[in-house]
Amino acid sequence: MYKSFSDHLLDWAGRILLTLILGFLVLPFIVVFIASFNESAILSFPPQSWSTRWYVNAFEYRDFGNGLRNSLRVAAFGAGIALVAGAGFAYVFNRYDFAFKNTLNGILLSPLIIPNFTIGLGVLVLTAAASMPRNVWTVVAVHVIIVLPFVVRSVYVSLQNLERAYEQAAESLGGRPLHVLLTITLPLLLPGLVAGAIFAAILSFNEFTASLYVVSQRTETLPVAMYNYVREYADPTLAAMSVLYVAAVAALLLLVHKIFRLEKVLNVD
């Protein structure tokens, strides 16, 4: 395609702008990466001397290990329950008309607007008012509420893209509803379901604000443990922790991208 001088100028302006924006996005992670190797407990740029001792510290700090175990457990159960409930709801919402369908939809998607601190506070005062014990299941419940809308949306998009003719063909060939569900619908929805589950698990793993309201010392999740650490200590242990966190999430995302292509999952293709 022919390009005029002004077109080239636009191209270059665009490239510079893009680089600046991407720089803004990665800057904090580069900085935290450098800071994590700073020998001194007091921040300085550039670091005077280098060390990996904060990584050792991060691994040895008991609250992080405890928080990681809690977070993994909560994310697994939270995402699992949200997947089952969310996929089921997306299916009936896509397929059927029933009483209070839109009310139910509105309530389930409301956590997209209700701030997390309100959800956390709500569950906290609910358990207090109903004299319910607060344990790991309270945390799971909060996480299910928060990640459910994302699962519903992901599965709903997959369902909308699923041509009804596949299921109709299977039905005409003698497949009973359950058989069709298991041999046609579920396999064809699998990418959406897996993506929804992974998305939900990551969101749950990261959830901080609402968790802060309902965790106890024993059920503290990793983000809460990290927050508490910053409030008590100023050393770069948390920088080391952040680097590990970023590395783990980036690896997971790269894997998802390789298998499913993020463009598809996020519907930006």
Partner 1 sequence: MLIDTAQASAQQTADAPAVRVEGVSKSFAGSVALEPISMRIERGEFLTLLGPSGCGKTTLLNLIAGFLEADQGELYIHDKPVTRVPPYQREIGIVFQNYALFPHMSVARNVGYGLRTRGVPKAEAERRVREALALVKLEDFADRRPRQLSGGQQQRVALARALVIRPRVLLLDEPFSALDRNLRAAMQVELREIQTSLGLTTVFVTHDQGEALSMSDRIAVMSRATIRQIGTPSEIYDHPQNHFVASFVGDANMFRATLLEAEGSDARLKLGETEARITSFQTDLPAPGPVTLFVRPEHCHLAEPGTPGTIPATVALSVYQGSHTELHVDCPLAEGGRAMLRVPSRTSVAPGEPLAIGLAESGAAVFGAED
Partner 2 sequence: MTKRPFLGWFASPSILIAFGITASVLAIVQYSLRAHVPGSIDPGGFTLANFATLWHVAYGLVFLNSLLLCIWTALFALLIGYPLAYAMVRARSLSLRSAILLISLTPLFLGEIVRTYSWMIVLGNRGFLNSVLLQTGLIERPINLMFTMSGVVIALVHFTLPIVVVMLAAALSHIDRNLERAATSLGAGRIRVFLTVTLPLSIPGVVAATSTAFAWTFSAFATPQMIGGGQVQTISTMVYQVGFASFNFPLAASLSLMGLLFAVAVLAIFNTGMRQLERHGAH
Question: Residues interacting with partner 1, by CB under 8 A?
Answer: 163, 165-166, 168-177, 179-180, 183-184, 187-188
Q: Which of residues 29-48 bind partner 2 (CB under 8 A)?
A: 29, 31-32, 34-35, 42-46
d(C-alpha 87, C-alpha 155), whole Å = 6
Residue 26 contacts partner 2 per CB under 8 A: yes
Residue 99 contacts partner 2 per CB under 8 A: no
How would you write the chain as a 3-class SS string?
CCCCHHHHHHHHHHHHHHHHHHHHHHHHHHHHHHHHCECCCCCCCCCCCECCHHHHHHHHCHHHHHHHHHHHHHHHHHHHHHHHHHHHHHHHHHHCCCCCHHHHHHHHHHHHCCCHHHHHHHHHHHHHHCCCCCCHHHHHHHHHHHHHHHHHHHHHHHHHHCCHHHHHHHHHCCCCHHHHHHHHHHHHHHHHHHHHHHHHHHHHHHCCHHHHHHCCCCCCCHHHHHHHHHHHCCCCHHHHHHHHHHHHHHHHHHHHHHHHCHHHHCCCC
Contact of residue 22 among partner 1, partner 2, none (CB under 5-8 Å per partner type): partner 2
Q: Which of residues 130-189 bind partner 2 (CB under 8 A)?
A: 141, 144-145, 148, 177-178, 181
Contact of residue 132 among partner 2, partner 1, none (CB under 5-8 Å per partner type): none
User: Do 111 and 149 touch, CB atoms closer than 8 A?
Assistant: yes
Residue 6 contacts partner 2 per CB under 8 A: yes
- Of 2, 5, 21, 172, the one binding partner 2 by CB under 8 A: 21
Instruction: Output 158 or 219, the one with its CB closest to partner 1.
Output: 158
Residue 259 contacts partner 2 per CB under 8 A: no
- The one-letter amino acid at 57: N
d(C-alpha 95, C-alpha 78), whole Å = 25
Give the shortest CB-180-to-partner 1 separation in angstroms: 8
Q: Which stretch binds partner 2 (CB under 8 A): 53-61, 105-113, 159-167, 188-196?
A: 105-113
Bridge partner residues of 84 (DSSP): none
Residue 230 contacts partner 2 per CB under 8 A: yes
Give the shortest CB-194-to-partner 1 separation in angstroms: 14
- Of 162, 227, 235, 264, the one binding partner 2 by CB under 8 A: 227
Instruction: Output 30 or 56, the one with its CB closest to partner 2.
Output: 30
Residue 121 contacts partner 2 per CB under 8 A: yes
Residue 247 contacts partner 2 per CB under 8 A: no
Contact of residue 2 among partner 1, partner 2, none (CB under 5-8 Å per partner type): none
User: Do 204 and 75 touch, CB atoms closer than 8 A?
Assistant: yes
Q: Which of residues 61-80 bind partner 2 (CB under 8 A)?
A: none
Number of chain residues interacting with partner 2 (CB under 8 A): 93
